[in-house]
């Protein structure tokens, strides 16, 4: 009788071990993929931290100024037909700092070229312990929405254009996102340069259309 009990317990232990072994092998790829994703986020955040306290100024912002402060971009990609996207502190195609220029991806960006837009973000900074100071023209990552809006008004702007978009100065508007009431990303749009780029696109389309009619 005792022998049968030991045999039964042995079989139970084997079955339990087989079950947990199967579960381990089944979910191991998922765990590995999740760990790789976490490691990538950590590396990306460290890349942002490597810039130290960061204070960019839209009033003097050019391609040369960005390279002077951030170094060469991690990558350059097509944003649209005649627009390039540059990124720093990247994880694949996702970058914590991104700048757009009205220059085709196969053309050289002039040192004095002014960007169409600039985005800085660190939505997971609070998880990693945000220790650096990241700002663009007086707007800060990690400040409250209320502080951001008040800062815009003190500058004489801060007019609500649409949800989470306000005017920031004469040329730039600001689109922002927040996590639990704290600013997680700042997306500055250069309205004057965007308008010129849009007019240029219309001119190109108009000329192309006219040429095709003449031919």
**pLDDT tens, 6-33?**
555 555 556 555 555 655 555 555 555 5
Q: Which residue has the higher pLDDT, 14 or 141?
A: 141
Burial class (CB in 10 A: 0-12, 13-18, 19+), 181: exposed
Instruction: Please report, rounded to a whole number, the percentage of residues in the chain having pLDDT higher than 70.
Output: 69
pLDDT of residue 202: 45
pLDDT of residue 65: 97
DSSP 110: P
pLDDT score of 155 more than 90: no
pLDDT score of 173 more than 90: yes
């Amino acid at each position: 009788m005792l022998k049968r009990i030991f045999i039964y317990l042995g079989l139970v232990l084997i079955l339990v071990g087989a079950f947990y072994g199967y579960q381990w092998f089944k979910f191991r790829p998922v765990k590995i993929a999740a760990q790789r994703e976490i490691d990538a986020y950590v590396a990306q955040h460290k890349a942002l931290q490597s810039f130290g306290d960061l204070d960019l100024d839209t009033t003097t912002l050019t391609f040369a100024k960005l390279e002077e402060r951030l170094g060469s971009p991690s990558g350059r990609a097509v944003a649209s037909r005649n627009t390039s996207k540059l990124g720093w502190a990247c994880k694949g195609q996702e970058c914590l700092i991104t700048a757009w220029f009205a220059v085709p991806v196969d053309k050289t960006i002039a040192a004095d070229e002014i960007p169409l837009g600039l985005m800085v973000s660190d939505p997971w900074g609070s998880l990693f312990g945000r220790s650096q100071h990241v700002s663009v023209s007086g707007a800060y990552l990690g400040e409250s929405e209320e502080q951001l809006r008040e800062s815009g008004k003190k500058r004489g702007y801060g007019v609500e254009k649409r949800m989470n978009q306000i005017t920031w100065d004469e040329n730039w508007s600001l689109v922002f996102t927040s996590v639990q009431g704290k600013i997680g990303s700042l997306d500055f749009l250069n309205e004057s340069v965007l308008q010129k780029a849009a007019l240029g696109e219309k001119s190109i389309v108009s000329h192309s259309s006219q040429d095709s009619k003449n031919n």
